[in-house]
Homo-oligomer: A and B are copies of this chain.
Amino acid sequence: MNALLTDLYELNMVASYLRRRMNGTATFSLFVRRLPDTRGFIVAAGVESCLDFLEQLRFEEDDLRYLGDGLGFTAADLEAFRRFRFTGDVWAIPEGRIAFAGEPLVEVTAPLPQAQLIETFLLNRVTYESTIASKAARCVIAAAGRDAVDFSFRRTHGIEAGIDVARLSAMVGFAATSNVEAARRFGLVAAGTMAHSYVEAFSSESEAFRAFAEDFPGRATFLVDTYDTISGVKAAIAVMHQLRLGGRLGIRLDSGDLAGLSSKARRLLDRAGLSHVRIFASGSLDELAIDDLVRGGAPIDAFGVGTKMGVSADYPYLDSAYKLVRYQDRPVMKLSRDKVTAPGRKQVFRRSRPFSDMLGLHDEPVPAGRERLLELVMTRGKRTGSRPALSESKEQFQVDLAVLPEGARALRSPKPPPVRTTEALRTLSAETRRRLLTALPNKAAQTKN
């Protein structure tokens, strides 16, 4: 893995620390500062990609050449970079677990230069993957037991992002993906039928449907809205009868008033003795549109969810941070306005019923009836176990979702549960703030910024 996958300022700081032998142990906490108004919870994800990176992290010779010749780092810096490895410990909330703002998703304890260099990569992967998993989870909640299918590959932020979205949406309960490579890589169900261009390439809609049914007997789903949806449904029914089709049959609606059209289509199908034919809907769907359809009783069996899930369109990032919370034996915090961080290594203590999270210090005893959310996933630069299977993360998500309070699950105006802090954390915060204020040159100004 490439140690240049970072921001230049990380390399500046690392070079400076190495020159000064500032090798003391540091802890950085990666957390979401605040949730958007349209999110009631976070699905933790991304830490496994980070662990892969950390295990492989090193500077190759051509990296070093660029840092010397291109960016002016000294020969001594390059020698120190050449020996650089990640030897720290990582605690994390496992992928698929539900978390909230302020809770460390990942906590890294390592010699200061190591913990610093990796900031950019860790923020990227954890922010991105948690953003998508959290958005996809809302779509699954909205679908309320009907199938949700990932159709996002054509609009994700690049090809690798499309592969990631397929995996992350599967983790939170999507039933299938259109993405063939992702289906292969992760053992997912691949789903897909035909595009409008297929219908247009034949001289009529009926001819296109007949051709497709002949080629894929037993899994014919007809796209019925190329010209006129209701005519398309009738053409699909006629072909199903003519060819006496069996197997998994379906029609797909991709435009127009999905509620009205699905009801009309259902009636036409049922009257034709085709009540086993499934209705599939797609076209600019997100969790709110799905929720409207489901609550309105639209007879839709499966939802194809594309762009708006795949880029988390209403909020395509989370307000994440990676902050130094402890250096050597000294808790650290930032005081600048709106960006205060709590000091010290942390742990989250969860009670499932009734649901409540407490943010506390790493070494505190676990309060009665609670469990620790952060687990040790890497020690001295090596994973503590193997990468969890997608099925394990999926199950973990279902377990957490089952006890999540209604307010946090709500699709409109969700209310995340309050995360309280332990007495020990509050005491440490107050002490650290007092110490920092005493050290500032201009004491009057410090809280005004």
Contact = CB atoms under 8 A, between A and B. Distances in A.
Interface of A: 2, 4-13, 15-17, 19-20, 22, 26, 28, 66, 70-71, 112, 116, 119-121, 123-125, 127-128, 132, 151, 153-162, 164, 178-181, 183-184, 190-198, 200-201, 203-204, 206, 211-212, 215-216, 225-231, 234-235, 254-257, 261, 307, 311-313, 316-317, 320, 323-324, 327, 332, 334-339, 436, 439-442, 445-446, 448-449
A269 B375 CA distance: 48
A124 B153 CA distance: 7
Contact of A336 (B16, B255, B448): B255
Contacts of A211: 16, 20
A273 B428 CA distance: 42
B178 A9 contact: yes
B180 A6 contact: yes
Given A2-B181, A256-B336, A16 B116 contact: no
B317 A17 contact: no
A317 B313 contact: yes
A167 B200 CA distance: 38
A8 B128 contact: no
A207 to B, nearest CB: 11
A148 B17 CA distance: 28
Contacts of A227: 334-336, 436, 440, 446
B9 A195 contact: yes
A225 B336 contact: yes
A228 B4 contact: no
19 contacts: A2-B181, A4-B180, A7-B180, A28-B197, A121-B159, A123-B154, A125-B159, A132-B157, A155-B317, A157-B157, A157-B161, A158-B161, A196-B334, A197-B332, A227-B335, A230-B445, A230-B449, A256-B337, A311-B317
Contacts of A317: 155, 307, 311, 313
Contacts of A128: 155-158
Nearest to A77: B215
